[in-house]
Amino acid sequence: LIEVYPPPLPAVYTQIFPPLLNPVMWERSGNVPALVRLLQAYLQKQQVSGEQLQGVLGVFQKLIASKALDHLGFYILNAVVESVPSEALQQYLTNIHSLLCVRLQTSPTPKYTRAWVLFVCLFIDKHGTAVVMNSLDALQPGLFGMLLQQVVVPNFPSVQGQMEHKLVAVALAKVLTECPNLVADWGQLLGALVAYIGSQGENGVEDDGEAGFESGYSAAFAQLHYSRKKETDPLPGVVPGQFLVGEIKKLGLVDRVPLDVRQKLNL
């Protein structure tokens, strides 16, 4: 009901939110998918800050530690990135990045790595490359560039799904055009991105099974197969290929584009 109720939410719904953050509610793993979907609905309908935001991030921290439930932790984190202004998030970013990077370094799985790449791309899409780069570099100088080269670039082609594909493509277009000197082989990554955008028609269809549930950017199913959630587009009206071409032209980068890629983009 919360998903379809227009904001602001009435008290009968908002009074359920604080108990939802009680750690006891999250102890049974079978309840977690439905709780995640409910928490996402709240985040989309009302602003959270202070103790409530800390509580939400506490749930994220609990889930991200589990290999079985880490993708659900990313669903919550992605909802926070979409709904909370970057200024309100600023004080928590160092701890968020630290938790994610420790797990990425010590016990990564293909599922976790894809989810992390998708989180970073959504973060860039919503708040800009500079915000993400500065928040990661605050943890360790040069960390953003290192993770871009060692994690994002090798793994972004494995992120599939219609919405996920769009989020990744637009984010990489922003990185390439907003920070062109950060990428060691700019032309090669641009070519890979153009191929990725072109593959959307082949591989960018929405999943109808559990694979989408485990690797998507939000909990479309949350194991409620009788009530599928309609995903909202975080980037309405944005077409990745058109966006990439527009940014290349706007920032005067046409001469840097390899000839074969320039032909594919009609530059």
Backbone angles phi, psi at 193, to 5 degrees: -65, -40
List, for residues 92-112, the tens digit of each pLDDT value.
999 999 999 999 999 999 999
- Give the pLDDT score at 189: 96
Rounded (5°) CA angle 102-108-114: 110
Q: How many CA atoms lie within 13 A of 105 on its CB side?
A: 9
- Give the pLDDT score at 204: 39
- How far is 173 from 248, CA to CA, in rounded Å? 9
- Give the pLDDT score at 37: 92
- Give the pLDDT score at 128: 93
First vs last Cα of the chain: how many Å apart?
A: 48
- Give the pLDDT score at 208: 36
**Torsion 242-114-89-12 (CA) sign:** positive
List, for residues 152-176, the tens digit of each pLDDT value.
999 999 998 999 999 999 999 999 9
Ranges of residues in the chain whose predicted pLDDT is under 70: 1-6, 201-230
